[in-house]
Amino acid sequence: MQKIPTLFVRDPADLTKVIREVHPACGWVIAGEGEPTRKYDGTCVRLDADGVWWARREVRPGKAEPAGFVAVQQDPATGKTVGWEPVEQSSFVRFFTEARTGDEVAGTYELCGPKLNGNPENYPGHVLVRHETADTFADVPRDFDGLMAWLLDHPQYEGIVWHHPDGRMAKLKHRDAVATLK
């Protein structure tokens, strides 16, 4: 799991906003490559090939990593280390347990529901949404103005994640559009 870059560069004067400049790693989106999918608002979990569940975790600089933590990437901007911790020790294990069906296959999921992030997805109970099966959007523009307008017109979505066939990803959140255009 790598941190997904935001499609547009963050405004250095106000990191809640983006500017018109395309992030250097995301030009492929503007070029029309990749599939745009729905970004769900929950917390990321992963079932590995050995049947072990992991929860996404960020560790702030100077803080101890939790037991069993597997570091994946350090964010040079914030100094945070992003990685995985065993789901049993995460703060939302109870909700994760409620969401499990036993039919899950290896891959990443978004854990969503009433006790996560204020439940912006409005699920009546806790669920695991497989990222690989996320809703796709055929009508998403690929330019700054078009994307800002599309996100503002679709407040029910946390945002968009583009998936390139080679595995690269890029994202843009609804809150990026709100902050940038206010």
What is the per-residue DSSP string for 85-120?
EEGGGSTTHHHHHHH--S---SEEEEEESTTSTT-T
Only one residue has tokens 């992003």, namely 82
The pLDDT tens digits along the chain (182 residues) read 567 899 999 999 999 999 999 999 999 999 999 999 999 999 999 999 999 999 999 999 999 999 999 999 988 878 899 999 999 999 999 999 999 999 999 999 999 999 999 998 899 999 999 988 889 998 899 999 999 999 999 999 999 999 999 989 999 999 999 999 87
Contact 43, 63 (CB under 8 A): no
**The two three-digit tokens of residue 91, written as one number:** 């703060």
The pLDDT of residue 132: 87
Q: Tell me the whole-structure pTM to 2 decimals.
A: 0.85
Per-residue pLDDT tens for 31-64? Answer: 999 999 999 999 999 999 999 999 999 999 999 9
The pLDDT of residue 2: 67
Q: What is the dihedral of CA 59, 54, 34, 161, to 10 degrees?
A: -60
Decide: residue 112, CB within 10 A, 0-12 exposed, 13-18 middle, 19+ buried: buried
The secondary element (H helix, E strand) that includes residue 171 is strand 169-173
Q: How many CB atoms lie within 10 A of CB 158?
A: 22
Q: What is the dihedral of CA 179, 6, 133, 97, to 10 degrees?
A: -80
